[in-house]
Amino acid sequence: MKPYSYLTLDETAQWKQLWDLGTYLTHIEGDGYKYALYALGEFYVEVKYNLTDNRIVSKKQFRKGKTLHRYLSLFDLNIPI
C-alpha cells in the first residue's frame, strides 16, 4: 500500500488496513506511553498507547525522518550481504 492510498481512506478503514495488513516491528516506551511501530506497504505507522489508561491515543504515518530514526537503534543493521 502507498501512503496516499492509506490517507484517502476514512479513519475506520485506516485502522482496519493497519490491523489486517500491517506488520508489527517493535516498540519503545517513555513518559507514560508506548509507541508501537508497524510496517504497512511502502511506509510505517506509529501507534501511541497511553499506558495508564491502556488505550490508543493516536497514530501517525511516515516514510522517513525523526520518527523512524527513534527506532533504528533497536535493529541490528550490520547484516552481511
Q: How many domains does the structure of the chain reveal?
A: 1
Distance (Å, rounded) from C-alpha 10 to C-alpha 13?
Answer: 5
User: Does residue 59 sit within a domain?
Assistant: yes
List the domain range (segments joined by +) for residue 32: 3-72
pLDDT tens, residue order, the chain (81 aa): 898 899 999 999 999 999 999 999 999 999 999 999 999 999 999 999 999 999 999 999 999 988 888 888 787 766 666
Q: What is the pTM of this model?
A: 0.85
* Rounded-to-integer distance, Cα 37 and Cα 69, Å: 12
pLDDT of residue 52: 96
Q: Name the strand (E) or helix (H) holding 69.
A: helix 66-72
3-state secondary structure (DSSP) of residue 13: helix
Domain annotation covers residue 77: no
**Cα–Cα distance, 34 to 42 (Å, whole number):** 23
Q: Is residue 81 part of a domain?
A: no
